[in-house]
Every structure is written in structure tokens, then in C-alpha cells.
Amino acid sequence: MNKRRNFIKTVTAASAAAFLPITSISKDMKNQKMIHQVFFWLHDKNDTEEFLSKAVPMLGQCKTVGNFIPGTPAPTEARDVVDHSWHVSCTLFFDSLEDQAAYQVDPLHLEFIEKYSSMWKTVKVYDIAI
Amino acid sequence: MNKRRNFIKTVTAASAAAFLPITSISKDMKNQKMIHQVFFWLHDKNDTEEFLSKAVPMLGQCKTVGNFIPGTPAPTEARDVVDHSWHVSCTLFFDSLEDQAAYQVDPLHLEFIEKYSSMWKTVKVYDIAI
């Protein structure tokens, strides 16, 4: 029952946002919760552990981050639609679009980029209104 | 303080998994939590509301889904690294790799594919061990 309740709660909150046209969402930046989903492809996959233990935690410590989940590719079935080629992911929850914008210029985020950007060859981001 | 506690809790749990080599994770499928992150590009973006209200909720109702968060592109700043081109996302949390494997053959998931796969032109998936 808990699981079902959580599901309904999540869907209700998410759907309310999802059905708003983008322009309406923009006007309501303070209340638009979002996921900032980042994938890193490193130059050297042997750097994965160092990147996870030293670099990535800096992102989770940025002030406006609501929840922070680092990850690595899950060993699920190989299928054409599944991309397992990346090395490290960060799933960041923000309470508003403004909080995500503030995160982009958080001193710790900027320090992370300065110190560690040489370790990745590609970064890909999906910003998800929920 | 709550936010910091949640962060530490999340990072501790996630890092423990993240530092395991993939082979070890495979042997521990029952305890490997994961995010199944799906992005849909629809043939017609005008179908977004119908897809969100009728199709996508079927996925959240599959038995082994731990948490389910539908989404749409957040109107964040346009940057080269950010992909805003998709129309609908589903963020699904599973308690184990086995639960995700079961989800793939859940009758509701299969019904979703049969009924609604004609609405999307591309689907892209990232499976994230957390």
C-alpha cells in the first residue's frame, strides 16, 4: 500500500507540472521541481573510482542540491535502446529551476569543473521537469 | 540539516555500489538498487499530454517498480551539453536488478508497448546502478 501511495503521490505532483506548457512552467520557476541528470564519459575508464570518490561528491555538496545520487552503468541486458557506454552519472534533484540555476554557479561546482574537467571527454545532461 | 543528512545517506549507499566492479554487482543482483531512466521522442509532440496521461501511468503501475517519476523537458538554459529535444521521460527506481528484469516482462509493460509504441519514434534508456 505504501508503494502505491507513493506512486500516486509522485504521479499527481509530476503530472501537474508535466501538463503545463513550457511557457507556464517558466513563469513558475520557484515551484518547478526538477531532476538534473548528468552522464560523464571519462578519457580513461580506470579513473572511474577516483572520479566517484573525489570529484563527484563536490557536486552533492553544492548548497541548493536537494538530493544527490551518483551512479555507474547497471549491468542490465544489452539492448539497442540502452546506453551502457558512459562511466559515471549524477542524478540531482532540485526544488526549483532557480535552485538548479544557482547550482550552475555555485563555487564548489565551478571548482569541480576547474579541477576535474580534464578527466572527461564528454558530458551529457537531461533536465527533467517533474 | 535534514538535507545534509539525506545527502550523506544517499552518497554512502550509492558509493558502496558505485565502487564495486561490474562483475561484483552482477553477483549481487538482489541488493543492487538502480534507476531505469527512459526518454521518449514522440512522432508528434502534440501527443505529449495523451502519452503522459494514458500511456506512461501504466509503467508506474508495474508490480516491481519502487518509485516512478514521469517528466518533461525542464526549461533550463540552452547549452550544448543539455539535450532538450525529447518529449517525455520516466525515471523508475528499482530495489534490485531482478526487479528491473521482471518489469521488462510485466504484463502491463508489454500492454503499454503494444498499445503505445506507435506514438514514439525513438526511445533511449540509461540503467544506473546506485
Q: Which of B6, B36, B127 sits opposite A73 (nearest CB)?
A: B127
The whole-number average pLDDT for the span B94-107 is 97
Q: How far apart are CA B121 and CA B124, in angstroms?
A: 10
pLDDT of residue B26: 52
Question: In the predicted model, what is the mean pLDDT of residues B99-114?
Answer: 97
d(CA A25, CA A101): 15
Residues of chain B contacting residue A84, judged by C-beta atoms under 8 Å apart: 127
Distance from CA of B42 to the nearest CA of A (A): 15
Q: What is the pLDDT of residues B6-39, one digit of tens each?
A: 444 444 444 444 444 555 545 567 789 999 999 9
Residues of chain A with pLDDT under 50: 1-21, 23, 25
Task: Give me the interface pTM, i.e. the ipTM.
Answer: 0.81
Interface contact B124-A60, CB threshold 8 A: no
Domain spanning A27-129: CATH 2.60.120.10: no
B25: alpha, beta or left, given left = phi > 0 and alpha = psi -120 to 50?
A: alpha
With a CB cutoff of 8 Å and minimum separation 6, the contacts of B130 are A69, A70, A71, A91, B13, B14, B17, B18, B33, B34, B35
Per-residue pLDDT of B57-86, as tens digits, reads: 999 999 999 999 999 999 999 999 999 999
Instruction: Delimit the domains of chain A by residue range.
Output: 27-129
The larger pLDDT score, comparing residue B24 to residue B114, is at B114
- Other beta carbons within 10 angstroms of residue A90's beta carbon come to 24
**A-interface mutation test, from B24, B69, B105, most A Cβ less than 10 A away:** B69
Whether the pTM exceeds 0.90: the reply is no
